[in-house]
């Protein structure tokens, strides 16, 4: 017999979440035996690099956008930010190709693939706005060049790469928020659906 408590939105949401993602799926202590390759390292490496990117970005924000031009400590934090971004993209691209060659969308994992691709695109936009926010010669050149591409699509009317304030806000608030939410969604989908199993041997060999 369904009680009024069973009908509550909160109860229904909790049961749904617990059903789809029980604790043993969210924080597993075993994995299928086929998960045994160096390629699996690149997902967690991407996540770790994202954490370092965010951490170094938070440090950069402490003293404001001019700090890294004026202080050797600030410049070092900027270097941490740069190199963690380079590691982030390297790991993410290897992860993407690895997942492509595993056909990782199989078995109802289309949304996992798609959130991964959108995260990749959002990350490119985040990095670009970072380059545009450097407030040095590089950002002068990059923005005056990139404006032509973005303007040609019509988006430049609303997304003005020559407006430092707008670029900085997108870089430190809007796009990182999008990237983190998308990454969280992607990881939750991986945990819900699990890691894609190998192609069936006979299928692989028959084709």
Using CB under 8 A as the binding rule, the residues of this chain from 67 to 126 that contact other proteins are 68-69, 75-76, 78-84, 86-87, 89, 93, 98, 100-103, 105-110, 113-114, 117-118, 121, 124
Nearest distance in Å: CB 15, other proteins:
24
> Is the CB of 58 or the CB of 155 nearer to other proteins?
155
Q: What is the dihedral of CA 90, 127, 50, 187, to 10 degrees?
A: -90
Using CB under 8 A as the binding rule, the residues of this chain from 22 to 51 that contact other proteins are 27-37, 39, 41, 44-45, 47-49, 51
Binding-residue pattern over the window 160 to 189 for other proteins, x denoting contact by CB under 8 A: x-xxxxx-x---------------------
> Is the CB of 16 or the CB of 100 nearer to other proteins?
100
For 69, the token pair is 């031009």
Number of neighbouring beta carbons within 10 Å of residue 184: 13
CA atoms within 13 A on the CB side of 35: 11
Q: By the 8 A CB rule, do 191 and 21 touch?
A: yes
């Amino acid at each position: 017999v369904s009680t009024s408590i069973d009908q509550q939105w909160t109860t229904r949401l909790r049961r749904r979440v617990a059903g789809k993602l029980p604790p043993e799926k969210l924080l597993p202590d075993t994995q299928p035996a086929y998960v045994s390759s160096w390629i699996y390292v690149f997902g967690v490496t991407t996540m770790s690099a994202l954490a370092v990117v965010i951490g170094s970005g938070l440090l950069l924000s402490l003293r404001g956008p001019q700090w890294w031009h004026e202080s050797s400590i600030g410049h070092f934090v900027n270097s941490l930010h740069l190199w963690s971004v380079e590691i982030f993209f390297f790991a993410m691209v290897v992860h993407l190709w690895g997942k492509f060659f595993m056909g990782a969308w199989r078995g109802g994992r289309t949304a996992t693939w798609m959130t991964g691709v959108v995260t990749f695109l959002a990350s490119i936009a985040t990095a670009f706005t970072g380059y545009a926010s450097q407030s040095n010669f590089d950002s002068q050149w990059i923005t005056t060049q990139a404006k032509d591409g973005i303007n040609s699509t019509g988006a430049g009317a609303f997304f003005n790469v020559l407006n430092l304030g707008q670029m900085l806000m997108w870089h430190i608030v809007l796009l990182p928020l999008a990237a983190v939410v998308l990454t969280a969604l992607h990881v939750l989908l991986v945990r819900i659906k699990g890691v894609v199993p190998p192609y069936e041997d006979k299928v692989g060999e028959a084709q």
